Amino acid sequence: MSSEPIIVDRPAQPYVAVRGLITMQTFARIADRFPEVFGWLAARGIEPSGPPFFKYNVIDMAHELELEAAVPVAEAVEGEGDVFGAELPAGRYATLTYRGHPQELVEVTGGLLAWAEERGIEWDMAPSDRGDVWAARVEFQLTDPAVEPDMNKWETQLAFKLRD
């Protein structure tokens, strides 16, 4: 079940993250690193300022994706080691909220991309030899798996930045 897509203005959002190259079959390599990011923040007494998210930087579905496991913070933070600080850019985003198993997110994402194409909406994205490079293509994880273990009840908000 998905909400209807809407366009919203989002302020810039600082965050900390780890980055990796994955395929759809090795997605867990980056997803399993959230505890590392949360641990890094806890060791420094920094509280998250919102739900964790995946940020897709480069997408080549047939080969490889550059993906971040990220946690928003109230103020910019310098990273250390594999953990780095960055910022989601301010701007207009197409968003929708999906409730269901994460395996269905590929289909849900396809629906959002088709919705935009039907309306002539352009993404803040550019093709490259590595794949499509996105300014901000984000999946906010609204459900804490420790609280709700049933993946069919998880909520995910997609937020894809539009071209200015």
pLDDT tens figures, 79-96? 999 999 999 999 999 999
Mean pLDDT confidence for 7-16: 98
- φ/ψ of residue 25, rounded to 5: -80, -20
Mean pLDDT confidence for 135-162: 96
- How do residues 45-80 score in pLDDT, each as one tens digit? 999 999 999 999 999 988 999 999 999 999 999 999
Percentage of the chain exceeding pLDDT 90: 92
pLDDT band at 125 (very low <50, low <70, confident <90, very high): very high
In order, the DSSP letters of 25-55 are GGTHHHHTTHHHHHHHHHHTTPPB-S--EEE
Q: Where are the domains of the chain?
A: 6-161
The one-letter amino acid code at 111 reads G
| Residue 129 confidence (pLDDT) | 94
Q: For the domain bounded by 6-161, which CATH number is listed?
A: 3.20.80.10
